[in-house]
Every structure is written in C-alpha cells, then in structure tokens.
Chain A
Amino acid sequence: MPYRPEPDRDSREWWQRIATREFVVQRCDTCGTTRFPARAFCPACRTEAWHWQEVEPEGRVESWIVNHQAFMPGAREPYVVVMVRLAAVPGCLVYGNWDGERPPEAGERVRASYNRIDDTLTLVNWAPAAG
C-alpha cells in the first residue's frame, strides 16, 4: 500500500478497534452528539467527556472519483475513491476505496468492508449494502 496511516493520540484507539472490525464513533457524554474523526472535544458543546459507541458501519454515497493518475508512489490505477455520508454521524463525510463490481450510484446505501493489511492495520472500504 502506498501510505500507512499514522494514528495520533486522538485516533489510535479508533484504529485499534477497526482492526478488530468494531466500527465505532465517539458519543459526547454531555450532549449526546456523535462525531468522527476522533477528537478530544465535542464540537457541539465543547466538553471533553465521551465514550466509544459501536454503530452500524453504514452510510450513503455522496460522491466518488475514478482516479487515473499515480499521485502517490505505488498507487495502482485506475481506482475508485468514494465519499460516504456516515449514517451514524449525519454531518460526517468519510472516504474509502470502492469495493464493488460496478460503479457506485448517487445516494446508494453502502456498508463498510474491511481490508486487513496486517495484524495491526485494517482499512475501511465501502461496498453496496445488501438488500
């Protein structure tokens, strides 16, 4: 893979949980707002208390690109990157590679598929949701 993510102090546990296929977001203990990516502060009420909440790894396709140029060393091409609006965090757009036989469709429901790189790293891709 061209780039190995470097978790920070806010995100390290998120990556660890994803490696066990536990899809979590943060939930604020004060106001209940869900958020992603991992941060110490709630952007709604600016408090620090929170807990991980496991949620369905689902969303809807908001956009995608088909990449044709090797912007990073070792990148295979062409490949699809999809932008997904996370169902559990409606204000949140997340990215991943497309895991589907056909191109994505606007607004379609998608579900995370896990791409295990090694013992400590798993990436989240997106595939058409069943049904």
Chain B
Amino acid sequence: MLDFRDVTAIAGVGYTPFTKDSGASTLTLACRAVLAALEDAGLTADDVDGLATHRVGDSAPPALVGPALGLTDLAWHLDQFGGGSVSHAVVGQAALAVAAGMAETVVCYRAINARSEFRMGGTGRGVPASPEVQYQAPYGYVAPPQQYAMYARAHMLKYGTKAEHFGQLAVTQRANAAKNPRALMRTPITMDDYLASRWIAEPFRLLDCCLETDGACAVVVTTAERARSLRRPPVLISAAAWGGGTSHLSGPAADPTVTAAAALAPRLYAQAGLGPAEIDVAELYDCFTYSVIVQLEDYGFCAKGEGGPYVASGATALDGPLPVNTHGGFLSEGYVHGVNHIAEAVSQLRGDAGDRQVPGAEVALSTAQPGYILPATSALILRRS
C-alpha cells in the first residue's frame, strides 16, 4: 500500500475577501485565490502542475482556471461533482496524486458566489435534478436548512438536545469570529440574541444557519519534502478519508441522528495513527449549528447523544479542551464550502492565527458535511511538521 501518512503537506493558503457581493465571476475568484495561495507558499503559477476543485455547477472548473492562468501543461486535475461533503476529499485526492508522483504541486480551490448568484438548495434557482426530489419538493421540503432542521429535531427528541445547545455554538463561534479580521460577522452575540432570532424552519432560527457568502479559498498541496524548502512552515497531511453511508433522504435509513462520519472516523484515525484525544483543534463543517453537534459525537469527542451537553460545558470554546471552528466557521466567518475550514486548520498549526490562535496546536481535524442530504463525507487530519 502507498505510504501516505505525512508524505504530503499543505504549503500555502489563499483567500479572496469574503463578501455579500463579490462583483467578480467565479472564474476570477478562483484565479485570485489560487494566486494568493501560491504567493503564501512562495511559489508562482509556473510551479503548478495540478488543479482540483469541487462544485455543483456553480464554480469554475480546472479546465477553465488552467487556461485563465496560462497553465498549458497540467499533469493532473480533478473536477469533482459535489457540495460540502466532498470538500475534503478533493484535498485528499490531490495528496494521493502527489504521493503517487502524478503531480508535484496541486492547488485545490473553491470559488463560489453563494450569496449574489447561486444560493444553495431551492432558493433562487430551479429544483436540483435528483430522483429523490420527487418525494420531497412537492411538500415544500427542498432546502438544506429544512433538511438539517428535520434531523436536528430528531436528535432533540431522541436525546433531549436543547435549543440552547445550538445557541451556545452560535455564540461561541461568533466570539471566535470577533477575533478574525476575515470574518463577515464580527459583532458578538448573546444567547438572548440567538433565541430572539427569527424562525427559518423550526427548530432552526436564523442564527442556526451559516452565512451564504461570495468568495474563494485555495490550498497548495505538495510533497512534505518540498514543502520544507518553501516560505511557510509545512502542515503535514496525516490522514485523508472519504466515503459514503446510509442515505437519510428516502431510505433505507436506520437512525437519522447518525451520519456517514461515524463510519468514516475510525478509518481516518487509523490512517493518522491517533484518536480523538490527540486532536488539538477541530474545524467542523458547520452549515448549521446541529451539524457540529452530531460530528462531535460521530468523530468520538463525546458519546452519542452527548453533543449538546458537551458544547454547553464550554468544551468547544477557544480556551476549552477542544476549540472548534476557531475562525468563526461558516456561521460567522463565511461559507466557502469546506475549504476555509482546511485553511483555518493550517493557520492554527502554523501558529499564525493571530488573536484566535490556540496555543501549542499540533494536530487538527477538519471535516466536510457529515453526510446528510447526500450520504457522503470526507475529512482530513493535519499535523504541524
């Protein structure tokens, strides 16, 4: 089997500003983020021999970004269909390509005008084509906040999870965002603010939902050996896993309070040779507050059903035993469909996260959408070199 653990590294990260209206095409955003990540790594576009992205018909594929940046001889590229559940698989596949010697320097990016052009779910455009949609959309059930709210209530009914548990996540992550100059929303909020925010789909309020955002984010994947000679401290890719599980859409479904992440987590930890106790910081896909709670359980940070009380204990705050979404997450920093979570993990492990830095962070978990809506997920474990 290919020797994979710590063989590749993330050598640079790049962002465009996160806004409500970028005023730019997704192609332009992608190019800006790719170049910013290369600049961070101390590389130029001439060093790139691979490009990778994921999208749902709402971004610029490598076949457009390559020519736009004058890359005439890419050795490897990946244009993965999928939303947030494959965001981390893209980086994992790039790492595999680099480890296998198919490419040396792959830039993984996501460019998205998710606020001004392409909102997720049914809002603002046609119903997505999927055979499952026929059993849901006729009932006015089509958008991710509705679907996640449905699962969140199932968790509340089964385990006694409370609105205040969701609220604690929103409040904690906003406090982190207040220390993040990049974040779209930086004004602190209280539990009262959370409870007073308007209903979207009960049990979800506005502050349970992430911020749809215009922006792009990119990371540079290369060999660990080469990364050590570049500008920034390399962050090693210790494990990358992706896969599928039981659909909660129309069946067969066993338990709607368990996600595909529960099946993936053991494989991920085994690859890295460590367990949840060794994770110093976690950037967990927070399309909604509840997605963090179910992942805390499914990645083994607490027992099934204990996610709410775990959050209420303060465990996920910056000064807690498991700081979660240190940048504010999708709820407060912005929504770049998974890649900004990976970039924040890199910042934490390089020690350049500024006021929100977790002291001594050495190992980070970053995750994709845990497998609701479509039964697929992906995750990375990253380690300071």
Contacts and interface: CB of A to CB of B under 8 A. Distances in A.
Contact of A79 (B140, B199, B253, B256): B140
B200 interface: yes
A58 to B, nearest CB: 15
Interface in B369-385: none
A65 B251 contact: no
B194 to A, nearest CB: 16
B21 interface: no
Contacts of A125: 139
Contacts of B154: 62-63, 83
Interface in A93-117: 93-97, 106-107
Contacts of A63: 150-151, 153-154, 157, 256
B80 interface: no
Given A65-B203, A72-B127, A93-B253, A3 B137 contact: yes
A34 B189 CA distance: 49
Contact of B138 (A1, A36, A66, A93): A1
B44 interface: no
A36 B253 CA distance: 10
Contact of B139 (A8, A11, A86, A97): A97
B57 interface: no
B100 to A, nearest CB: 32
A123 B131 contact: no
Most buried by B among A3, A5, A79, A86: A3
B250 interface: yes
B251 A91 contact: yes
B252 A92 contact: yes
A92 B251 contact: yes
A43 interface: yes
Most buried by A among B134, B203, B256: B134
A11 B253 contact: no
B258 to A, nearest CB: 13
A86 B250 CA distance: 10
B248 A71 contact: no
Interface residues of A, number: 43
B124 to A, nearest CB: 9
Contacts of B200: 68-69
Contacts of A97: 139-140
Contact of A83 (B121, B127, B199, B256): B256
A46 B250 CA distance: 18
A50 interface: no
A5 to B, nearest CB: 4
Interface string B103-144: 000000000000000000111000100011111111111110
A8 B134 contact: yes
Interface string A69-84: 1011001101101010
B252 A89 contact: yes
Given A4-B138, A63-B151, A69-B201, A93 B250 contact: yes
Contacts of A123: 138-139
A102 to B, nearest CB: 15
B122 A68 contact: no
A30 interface: no
A64 B153 contact: yes
A67 to B, nearest CB: 5
A67 B157 contact: no
Most buried by B among A11, A63, A91: A63
Interface in A1-22: 1-8, 10-11
A71 B142 contact: yes
Interface of A: 1-8, 10-11, 35-37, 43, 62-69, 71-72, 75-76, 78-79, 81, 83, 86, 89, 91-97, 106-107, 123, 125
Interface of B: 121-123, 127, 131-143, 145-146, 149-151, 153-154, 157, 198-204, 248, 250-254, 256
- Ranked nearest first, the 4 interchain pairs of A and B with the lowest CB-CB distance are A92-B251, A91-B252, A5-B134, A66-B202
7 contacts: A1-B138, A63-B150, A63-B154, A63-B157, A67-B146, A89-B251, A91-B251
Given A3-B142, A67-B140, 10 more contacts: A7-B134, A8-B134, A65-B146, A65-B201, A67-B201, A69-B145, A72-B137, A81-B146, A94-B135, A106-B157
